[in-house]
Amino acid sequence: MRLSVATLCDAATVREGLLHILGGGITQVWRESFPSPLGGALVVGFLARLEDLQPHVISVSVSGPDENHVQMRLTMDGDALRVLAESNPTPISIPIVLPMTPVVLTTPGEHSIDISLNDEELLSLPFVVHQGSPPVVASPGQRARGVKKAGARKAGAKKIGAKKIGAVAKRPSPRR
């Protein structure tokens, strides 16, 4: 089995073998006070071949600067994987969503989520926990209030190439 995807996200669901991720790729988290739940979800996806269809144990460990560890273990049944393989071509996609609400953050700082398969470490996802509120940043395509749009004109300003009637540029009427 091979790890194909792993991300910390706001939410995720699996429907008919399809993985739906909302707000994936979290690397920074803000909390007003501690202790506080991590929240969100960890998405882990594997690709398996027919020869991989045996029981597997997935371990997830969340750790932070205070040396506090939260351990989760999930066992995948080989029989259930075989049933999945009978109805799907290989490689088989195995999407897993693990809720992170039970994980309690006790302090700000650098944290990591370590993912292992059958006691072999596959990946470490680092994330930083900040105390306070997240900064307000305008996302692409949006602008902060009070900030002029680039190239904005004052009302009544002359537009090059437009016919001007009084102080207002004439615009073509919409067709119906």
Total structural domains within the chain: 1
Of the two residues 145 and 123, the one the predictor is more confident about is 123
| pLDDT tens by residue, 13-46 | 999 888 999 999 999 999 999 999 999 999 999 9
163 belongs to a structural domain = no
155 belongs to a structural domain = no
| pLDDT tens by residue, 60-104 | 999 999 877 889 998 887 776 666 667 666 788 889 999 999 999
Alpha-carbon distance of 103 to 68, in angstroms, equals 11
121 belongs to a structural domain = yes
Residues in contact with 110: Cβ distance below 8 Å, sequence separation at least 6, in sequence order = 64, 65, 126, 127, 128, 129
DSSP bridge pairs for 131: 31
> 111 with 122: CB under 8 angstroms?
no
114 belongs to a structural domain = yes
Instruction: Report the range out of 66-75, 123-132, 143-152 with the highest average pLDDT.
Output: 123-132
* 36-50, 102-116, 132-146: the lowest-pLDDT one: 132-146
Q: What integer best gives the mean pLDDT of the chain?
A: 82
Per-residue confidence (pLDDT) for residue 137, from 0 to 100: 78
* Residue count (the chain): 176
Q: Which residue pairs from 15-22 have beta carbons closer than 8 angstroms and sit at least 24 positions apart in sequence? A: 17/88, 17/93, 17/95, 18/95, 19/43, 19/45, 19/93, 19/95, 19/97
Alpha-carbon distance of 106 to 34, in angstroms, equals 5
Per-residue confidence (pLDDT) for residue 124, from 0 to 100: 97
Would you place residue 162 in the very low, low, confident or very high pLDDT band (cuts 50, 70, 90)? very low
Q: Any idea what the CATH number is for the domain that residue 20 is in? A: 2.60.40.2550
Alpha-carbon distance of 3 to 92, in angstroms, equals 12
pTM of the model: 0.73
16 belongs to a structural domain = yes
Residue ranges of the alpha helices (H) in 18-163? 78-87
151 belongs to a structural domain = no
Q: What is the mean pLDDT of residues 153-162?
A: 53
Phi, psi for residue 38 in degrees, rounded to 5: -65, -45
> 65 with 110: CB under 8 angstroms?
yes
49 belongs to a structural domain = yes
- Give the residue carrying structure tokens 């259930």: 80
47 belongs to a structural domain = yes
Boundaries of domain holding 98:
2-128
